[in-house]
Amino acid sequence: MKIIMLGAPGAGKGTQAKMISEKYGIPHISTGDIFRANIKEGTELGKEAKSYMDAGKLVPDELTVRILLDRVAKEDCRDGYVLDGFPRTIPQAEVLDEELKKKGDQVDRAINVDVPDENIVGRMSGRRACLKCGATYHIEHLPPKKEGICDACGSELVLRDDDKPETVKKRLSVYHEQTQPLIEYYEGKQILCTVDGTKDAREVFAAIERNL
């Protein structure tokens, strides 16, 4: 099963992708996590991506597509994957479709986690992220068992650099301009389902399960 998560920054794509990955036994692939891991390791890719991410902009398609295609070519993706944060532009979606088509394959489902902009800024300022394993928490809605420590791997949790309110506003405007058109793109392919992302995370997941 090949699943795509769509939605504004902070809509809960990562939270739901993790649950899908655990339930269906397919890898959760987040381009944002791949970039953040590279930033942490100080790679050339990380240095290039950081300048765009800190400004709330998208990393250029050419770079992002190359990384994504390398990742989905790995053995653990043979039976499918859930993509979180990719595609983010129509050209990215088209490249993915072309690559899958070469293998007689296609995306099975695009899940749009719908959350209005006014809910987003509060969510982001309360988010705490583990830069080691990619787990995400919220200080009110989804706190870790021990404050500031990742339940999954025991690393320190941080407020992401791009979760500051000014950057979040920029990310939202980039989302509306460049990523939102993908909703229509997948609607046209009749594989889109939209769920209400303002509900409790478990209720959102139940709605996704009904659609898979």
Q: In whole angstroms, what is the distance from residue 36 CA to residue 52 CA?
A: 12
Please pick, from the candidates 3, 127, 186, 192, the single residue that binds ligand AP5 as defined by CB under 6 A.
127
Instruction: List binders of ligand AP5 among 52-71 (CB under 6 A).
Output: 52-53, 57-59, 64
**CA distance between the termini of the chain:** 9
Q: Report if residue 131 touches ligand AP5, rule: CB under 6 A.
A: no
Q: Which helix (H) or strand (E) holds 164?
A: none
**Secondary structure of residue 187 in the 3-state scheme:** helix
For this structure, is 160 an active site residue? yes
31 lies in the site for ligand AP5, by CB under 6 A: yes
Which amino acid, residue 52? Y
CB atoms within 10 A of CB 142: 16
Which span sits near ligand AP5 by CB under 6 A: 12-20, 102-110, 144-152, 187-195?
Answer: 12-20
| Site for ligand AP5 contains 50 (CB under 6 A) | no
Q: Largest Cα–Cα distance in the chain?
A: 47
Read off φ and ψ for residue 140, nearest 5 degrees: -105, -50
Residue 90 engages ligand AP5 in binding (rule: CB under 6 A): no
- Per-residue DSSP letter, 177: I
DSSP one-letter code for 195: E
- Using the contact rule CB under 6 A, the part of the chain among 27-35, 40-48, 145-153, 181-189 near ligand AP5 is 27-35
Ramachandran angles phi, psi of 91, nearest 5°:
-55, -35
* Catalytic residue selected from 88, 109, 123, 128: 88
Rounded to a whole number of angstroms, the minimum distance from the CB of residue 186 to ligand AP5 is 15
Indicate if 127 belongs to the active site.
yes
Site residues (vs ligand AP5, CB under 6 A): 7, 9-15, 30-32, 35, 52-53, 57-59, 64, 85-86, 88, 92, 123, 126-127, 136-138, 141-142, 162, 171, 197, 199-201, 204
Q: Which residues belong to the active site?
A: 13, 88, 127, 160, 171
